């Protein structure tokens, strides 16, 4: 996926192996980073730990070093590429270290050099020996990498990078945006909503009971998490990919069954409600259910999974930003007078 986003071409198997080997060569975490992560209070939110760890690596930025020494702007992409490759190589180990330190008594699992990037991430988490979990990680890391440049994390990385900030500064900032409840945090909000539903109306609710629960949610002025999308106007294909995985590997999982029933009834209710531009499920409607099934029951870590994946997309974009020589972003501003005139014109239009 990284090769595709960076080049526009689908890689051969040999090219995938070459990237895997390159990332493996760069994957070792420096001692200063381990010491830093161990100094962070263990009850710090995993996304905060993740963002801080990425930022701490900035001391090794090749782009920052070469920029200080002086280089032609046409060469900016080259050290940016090196930084990106170094970050991506280390992200699974960083995320797994945070998970094991926060939830598993600081007992860590060494990397398996025989495994690929996503499979090794699953291995280092140590939640299950089921080989299907490795396949889930591979799927998850592909599906969440990127979908367009206007989402908060992708745009944040582009915005910060437009100041010629290096990849570490840019990705750390992007992760801070991803941590918001209207963005990457949404996957855990979906699972929490489903678990609360099952607690209130039963572990095997009927479609009628679910319909009533959805109406109660909407009438209380709340949203149905996992439904709607700022861009898509149909069922998110990433939702369908996860659903197909679940039908193959965990068709009888009780939470998956509830997710499926919500999928059957929610779109019609949202269309009748009339306020949702897109009544169909998005990627967040399914991902938490899959993680929970394989033993990742710690909600707060879900967005870290998202972050490891999203890095593939935003960092590929960052290399192209430097290659294309894109300028610094400077959004237009308005005055207080303009705001007052705008409000007055809107009130006049309503009248």
Task: Supply the DSSP string of 38-74, one letter for each residue.
Answer: HHS-TTS-HHHHHHHHHHHGGGG-HHHHHHHH---GG
Give pLDDT, residue 183. 82
Give all domains of the chain, ordered by start, each with its CATH number: 2-181+299-324 (1.10.580.10), 186-293 (1.10.230.10)
Residues of the chain with pLDDT under 70: 147
Of 185, 131, 177, 135, nearest to 158 by C-alpha is 177
pTM of the model: 0.92
Give pLDDT, residue 147. 64
Active site residues: 183, 229, 284
Give pLDDT, residue 292. 94
Give pLDDT, residue 350. 85
Of 309, 287, 304, 311, nearest to 98 by C-alpha is 304
Q: CA-CA-CA-CA torsion for 7, 8, 11, 16, nearest 10 degrees?
A: 50
Q: Which residues pair with 227 in a beta bridge?
A: 281
d(CA 52, CA 19): 26
Of 69, 71, 38, 36, nearest to 54 by C-alpha is 36
Residue 266 token pair: 């929610």
Give pLDDT, residue 171. 98
């Amino acid at each position: 996926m990284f090769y595709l986003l960076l080049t526009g071409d689908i890689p051969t198997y040999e090219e995938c192996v070459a990237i895997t080997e390159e990332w493996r060569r760069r994957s070792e975490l420096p001692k200063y980073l381990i010491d830093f992560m161990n100094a962070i209070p263990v009850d710090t939110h995993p996304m905060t730990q993740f963002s801080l760890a990425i930022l701490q690596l900035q001391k090794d930025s090749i782009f920052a070093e070469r920029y200080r020494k002086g280089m032609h702007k046409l060469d900016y992409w080259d050290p940016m590429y090196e930084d990106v490759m170094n970050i991506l190589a280390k992200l699974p180990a960083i995320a797994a270290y945070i998970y094991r330190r926060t939830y598993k008594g600081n007992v860590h699992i060494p990397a398996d050099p025989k495994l690929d990037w996503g499979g090794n991430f699953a291995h280092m988490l140590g939640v299950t020996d089921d080989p299907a979990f490795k396949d889930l990680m591979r799927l998850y890391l592909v599906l969440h990498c990127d979908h367009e440049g206007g989402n908060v994390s992708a745009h944040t990385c582009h915005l910060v990078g437009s100041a010629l900030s290096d990849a570490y500064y840019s990705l750390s900032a992007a992760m801070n945006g991803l941590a918001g409840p209207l963005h990457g945090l949404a996957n855990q909000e979906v699972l929490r909503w489903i678990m609360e539903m099952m607690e209130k109306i039963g572990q095997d609710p009927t479609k009628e009971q679910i319909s009533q629960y959805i109406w109660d949610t909407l009438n209380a002025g709340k949203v149905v998490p996992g439904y709607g999308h700022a861009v898509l106007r149909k069922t998110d294909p990433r939702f369908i990919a996860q659903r197909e995985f679940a039908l193959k590997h965990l068709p009888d999982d009780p939470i998956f069954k509830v997710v499926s029933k919500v999928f059957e009834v929610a779109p019609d209710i949202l269309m009748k409600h009339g306020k949702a531009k897109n009544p169909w499920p998005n990627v967040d409607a399914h991902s938490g259910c899959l993680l929970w099934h394989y033993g990742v029951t710690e909600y707060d870590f879900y967005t870290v999974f998202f972050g490891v994946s999203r890095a593939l997309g935003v960092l590929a974009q960052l290399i192209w930003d430097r290659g294309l020589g894109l300028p610094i972003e400077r959004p237009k501003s308005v005055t207080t007078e303009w705001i007052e005139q705008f409000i007055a014109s809107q009130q006049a239009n309503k009248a």
